[in-house]
Chain A
Amino acid sequence: AQSVTQPDIHITVSEGASLELRCNYSYGATPYLFWYVQSPGQGLQLLLKYFSGDTLVQGIKGFEAEFKRSQSSFNLRKPSVHWSDAAEYFCLLTAYTGNQFYFGTGTSLTVIP
């Protein structure tokens, strides 16, 4: 069965520090993977997505993620965090032939000055 795991419920980083949010998935074929961000009181916004090809994908707001098939991971990274990055981050998975999206439980990011 398909599933997405985000091991870190909450992460705190200092402004300007680097960030890595973990996402592990379980799926029998090549997944389609997404990272979304949800700011307080807002809907979810797409940061980036992986369908195929280059395993390092660039997204908006300076984020990037790397698909590693051998580790079943799709970790999100940012080299220097800004205070405005404080939000909830969700990793999603879907299949090419499917129309269901599987959510991770989310990681809450706090940025301290």
Chain B
Amino acid sequence: EAGVAQSPRYKIIEKRQSVAFWCNPISGHATLYWYQQILGQGPKLLIQFQNNGVVDDSQLPKDRFSAERLKGVDSTLKIQPAKLEDSAVYLCASSLDGGGNTGELFFGEGSRLTVL
């Protein structure tokens, strides 16, 4: 079974530039999550999709961050314009139906963003 795929693995940009990250979840997984992990901290949920609808985006800085999940499969997270404090690893995860009764989160390897 293929895992959660993310790209790019690494990205370096200057502040005020834009960047986009892509995630392809495990086939059949209805729920997709984007987390931001700043160095030395635990992951923070940015946005959660159930199929192609948003379940929770309360911690997404909507003035600069956007995300979409077209057709309920893969997803793109965009940052525009980037700030220095956006330097982090962006983790994508998926789960079968978002409920704890089915099991766990499956994580991709992450996309590491450095903003200069």
Known A-B contacts A42-B109, A43-B110; the reply to A99 vs B104 at CB < 8 A is no
A105 to B48, CA, bound (A): 20
Min CB distance, A30 to chain B, in Å?
10
Q: For this complex, into which size category does the number of interface residues on chain B fall?
A: 20 to 34
Q: How many A-B residue pairs have CB under 8 A?
A: 62
Contact B42 A45 (CB under 8 A): no
Min CB distance, B108 to chain A, in Å?
5
Min CB distance, A94 to chain B, in Å?
4
Contact B48 A96 (CB under 8 A): no
B61 within 8 A of A: no
Contact B104 A49 (CB under 8 A): yes
Contact B50 A99 (CB under 8 A): yes
Set B91, B100, B101: member contacting A44, Cβ < 8 A: B91
B87 within 8 A of A: no
Known A-B contacts A34-B104, A51-B101; the reply to A99 vs B31 at CB < 8 A is yes
B107 within 8 A of A: yes
Known A-B contacts A44-B91, A98-B99; the reply to A90 vs B104 at CB < 8 A is no
- Extra pairs beyond A36-B107, A90-B43, A99-B48 (20, CB < 8 Å): A32-B100, A34-B104, A42-B109, A42-B110, A43-B91, A43-B108, A46-B106, A49-B103, A92-B105, A94-B100, A96-B101, A98-B100, A99-B50, A99-B55, A99-B97, A99-B99, A100-B45, A105-B41, A106-B41, A106-B42
